[in-house]
Amino acid sequence: TPLLGVLALQGAFAEHEAMFGKLGAATVEIRQSRDLDQQLDAIVLPGGESTVQGKLLRDLGMFDRLRELIANGLPVFGTCAGLLLLAKHVEDGDTHLAVMDMTVKRNAYGRQLGSFFTRAEVKGVGDVPMTFIRAPYIESVGEGAEVLARVDGHIVAAQQNAMLVTSFHPELNDDLSMHRYFLDTMVLRRRSGA
């Protein structure tokens, strides 16, 4: 069974644990630096508040270690605030781990009225229900990254090597397809050396 480390400082981490649990993966909560010493097969960065999460990562002394693990190829799934943590360029916000080649617009749909639900096609995944909560969108991706989905012309899902990001919250609907896609194409395939 793959072991996924779910960053559990703030935000929707419990929902991710439940989703991956349904898919038969084991999860462990990452709350302090030494939690990263385990043999993890992937990291999950949940939605929440990227400024708070980024500050906690630094205050708890986890920032450099986490960044190094991801930069060295440990698969990572970032949703909403997690996407913001991974982006190299953030408009209207700070950059944090800065490992994925994309420019992201924070609170892109407005702060108060920015929550909505829709469905859209995700490349390689299918039709996916999408819950957006004060979400960012991706304005552009760099050469190494691939666009997986757009809503109203804005990029809402992308991947680069073993990094998968969505600006919506796949953990807040009972559709497992994004989690399964991450597990199958980025975690298990890598473990089997394919």
Instruction: Mark the binding-site residues for L-glutamine, compressed into ranges.
Output: 48-50, 106, 133-134
| Smallest distance, ligand GLN to C-beta of residue 49, A | 5
Instruction: Tell whether residue 162 is a contact of ligand GLN (CB under 6 A).
Output: no
From first CA to last CA, the distance across the chain in angstroms is: 17
Active site residue 169: yes
Nearer CB in complex with ligand GLN: 41/135: 135
| Smallest distance, ligand GLN to C-beta of residue 45, A | 10
Pick out residues in 39-98 that bind ligand GLN (CB under 6 A): 47-50, 80-81, 84, 93
With contacts defined by CB under 6 A, how many residues of the chain interact with ligand GLN? 13
Segment interacting with ligand GLN (CB under 6 A) among 96-104, 133-141, 147-155, 156-164: 133-141
* Of 16, 96, 105, 106, the one binding ligand GLN by CB under 6 A: 106
Q: 3-state secondary structure string, the chain?
A: CCEEEEECCCCCHHHHHHHHHHCCCEEEEECCHHHHHCCCCEEEECCCCHHHHHHHHHHCCCHHHHHHHHHCCCCEEEECHHHHHHEEEEECCCCCCCCEEEEEECCCCCCCCCCEEEEEEECCCEEEEEEECCCCEEEEECCCCEEEEEECCEEEEEEECCEEEECCCHHHCCCCHHHHHHHHHHHHHHHCCC
Strand partners, 141: 102
Instruction: Tell whether residue 131 is a contact of ligand GLN (CB under 6 A).
Output: no
Rounded to whole angstroms, how far apart are CA atoms 82 and 138?
13
- Pair of tokens at residue 192: 């089997």
Annotated active-site residue in 15, 16, 17, 171: 171
- Pair of tokens at residue 184: 């199958």
* Of 107, 140, 177, 185, the one binding ligand GLN by CB under 6 A: 107
Instruction: Tell whether residue 16 is a contact of ligand GLN (CB under 6 A).
Output: no
Strand partners, 166: 79, 157
Active site residue 96: no
- Binding-site members are 48-50, 106, 133-134
Nearer CB in complex with ligand GLN: 2/85: 85
Residues that bind ligand GLN (CB under 6 A): 47-50, 80-81, 84, 93, 106-107, 133-135
Task: Give the catalytic positions in this structure.
Answer: 80, 169, 171
